[in-house]
Amino acid sequence: MAAPHVLVLPFPAQGHIIPLMELSHCLVEHGVKVTFVNTEFNHGLILGALATRESNLGGIGLVSIPDGLGDGEDRKNLSRLTNSFSKVMPGELEKLIGRINDDARGRERISWLIADVNMAWAFPVAKKFGVRAAGFCPSSAASFATRLRIPELIRDGVLDEEGWPRWRGTFQLAPAMPPMDTSEFSWNRAGNPKGQPVIFQLILRNNADTHLAETIVCNSFQELEPGAFSLFPGVLPVGPLFADSGTPVGSFWPEDASCAAWLDEQPANSVVYVAFGSFAAYDTAQLIELAEGLALTSRPFLWVVRPDSAGDERYLEQLRRRAAPRGRIVSWCPQQHVLAHPSVACFVTHCGWNSTMEAVRNGVPLLCWPYFTDQFLNQSYICDVWRTGMKVPLPPAADGTKLVGRDVVRGKVEELLGDVETKARALALRDLARRAVGDGGSSRRNLRRFVDLVKGSAS
């Protein structure tokens, strides 16, 4: 019998591609054939970062379709990106499935589509071809739950029709769930005033097609979010997803291979790791305060400053000089392996869900500096529910006129590193995460159920 052939479609952003690549590697290991669909632009970045033209990444077939934007257009403009791909990609995906199925001539035709829940327009496309559909949730189950419960939140007077909270305070989505603050809805944390309606409308469109997915796989684990998973028994937590060292996960930028040797030279439990994911950007004055604050700690630090967030080379050089001799600045690193290194003591993070899960899996305490969308909700999980981290006190003005000062940075890093209870809780959560993905663990069992479903052997 031919292996089942799965088409995997992420939302076209780094933090969505990486966990779906990790899930794809798991499927390949279980004998599933995977074709991974990136936009042409991201496909180019991924191959460029690996300096290869190879269209097979550790057994995963890579293909691409256009997102409808021109070469030089700003893909960080969410409104332009989502408007463009919503128009162009459904037709392109149809053509792609048609092409693959024609070539397959009965063998290895596409049998399943696994699409990001943020690309739910793809589910009706799959149905047209008789292809079965599963969703992939790259965020926390709690964040996903708030999205699915928007109609109830409007009915109950928590939200208005535009998605804004009607009052300020905490509420519970369900009795088993931790309290949430009404300021934390991901769509209201768009990073700029024009972003909210774009994200909110996108979520409503996605919600309308989500029911077409037979199941939804989530990069979280049962024991981490029992309340949220109790709301959605059809959602299968399979996380924390991860990739072994050397397994490509579709990075947009080349990983700095020298990090491991540098970390090896540092004392155990000494390094402050600083990284804000693939999208967040802080202004220059803020980054200088951060650099000064890190220098004041007198600790070794490893800081990821992405090429697209660094301004010009002169400025980057200024940061590098300020960081020396103890600090090291790199453009992109193998983060999962950095977090697993024994010399890493804590992680200053924007609280992206992947970064959060990677820290959980490695027992690393977090200093939270959220930037946008679900990162504020993730911060609450970290600081108020699991209590494995602390908040950087962010100034209320989001216009960049108020900064987190160097002394605050130094003080918070020192406070976090001096807190043995936070570290102990991070280690206990790490053990739970490892049990979940280990033999007989909840995530391992759920992954098996999902593989059986895809292979058609589910009961």
153/259 with CB nearer ligand UDP: 259
**CB-nearest residue to ligand UDP:** 15
Among 238, 304, 364, 390, binds ligand UDP (CB under 6 A): 304
163/352 with CB nearer ligand UDP: 352
What residues between 217 and 276 interact with ligand UDP by CB under 6 A? 251, 275
Among 14, 188, 362, 379, binds ligand UDP (CB under 6 A): 14
Rounded distance, CA 144 to CA 373, Å?
12
What residues between 314 and 353 interact with ligand UDP by CB under 6 A? 332-333, 335-336, 352-353
Is 302 a binding residue for ligand UDP by CB under 6 A? The answer is: no
DSSP structure string for 55-96: SEETTEEEEEE--S--TTS-TT-HHHHHHHHHHHHHHHHHHH
Closest approach, Cβ 151 to ligand UDP, in A, equals 27
Q: Taking CA 336 as the corner, what is the angle to CA 332 and CA 339, rounded to the nearest 5 degrees?
A: 100
Closest approach, Cβ 19 to ligand UDP, in A, equals 7
Rounded distance, CA 452 to CA 188, Å?
38
For ligand UDP (CB under 6 A), the number of binding residues is 19
Question: Residue 345 has which token pair?
Answer: 């003591």
304/453 with CB nearer ligand UDP: 304
- b/e burial code for range 393-426 (CB count within 10 A of at least 16 → b): ebeeeeeeeebbbbebbbbbbeebbebeebbebb
Rounded distance, CA 255 to CA 23, Å?
20
Rounded distance, CA 283 to CA 270, Å?
27
Closest approach, Cβ 248 to ligand UDP, in A, equals 11
398/424 with CB nearer ligand UDP: 398
Is 378 a binding residue for ligand UDP by CB under 6 A? The answer is: no
Is 277 a binding residue for ligand UDP by CB under 6 A? The answer is: yes
How many helices (H) and strands (E) in the chain? 17, 16
392 to 91, 220, 289, 290, 322: CA distances (angstroms): 45, 24, 13, 11, 22
158/437 with CB nearer ligand UDP: 437
CA-based nearest residue to 425, from 337, 359, 371, 378: 359
Cα four-point dihedral sign 9, 353, 283, 313:
negative
Is 39 a binding residue for ligand UDP by CB under 6 A? The answer is: no
Closest approach, Cβ 259 to ligand UDP, in A, equals 9
What residues between 16 and 35 interact with ligand UDP by CB under 6 A? 18
Closest approach, Cβ 167 to ligand UDP, in A, equals 29
Closest approach, Cβ 288 to ligand UDP, in A, equals 20
Among 3, 15, 79, 154, binds ligand UDP (CB under 6 A): 15
370/441 with CB nearer ligand UDP: 370
333/453 with CB nearer ligand UDP: 333
Question: Residue 361 has which token pair?
Answer: 């899996």
123/303 with CB nearer ligand UDP: 303
Rounded distance, CA 226 to CA 185, Å?
20
Strands 33-39 and 60-65: parallel
Count of C-beta atoms within a 10 Å radius of residue 432:
17
Binding residues vs ligand UDP (CB under 6 A): 14-15, 18, 251, 275, 277-280, 304, 332-333, 335-336, 352-355, 358
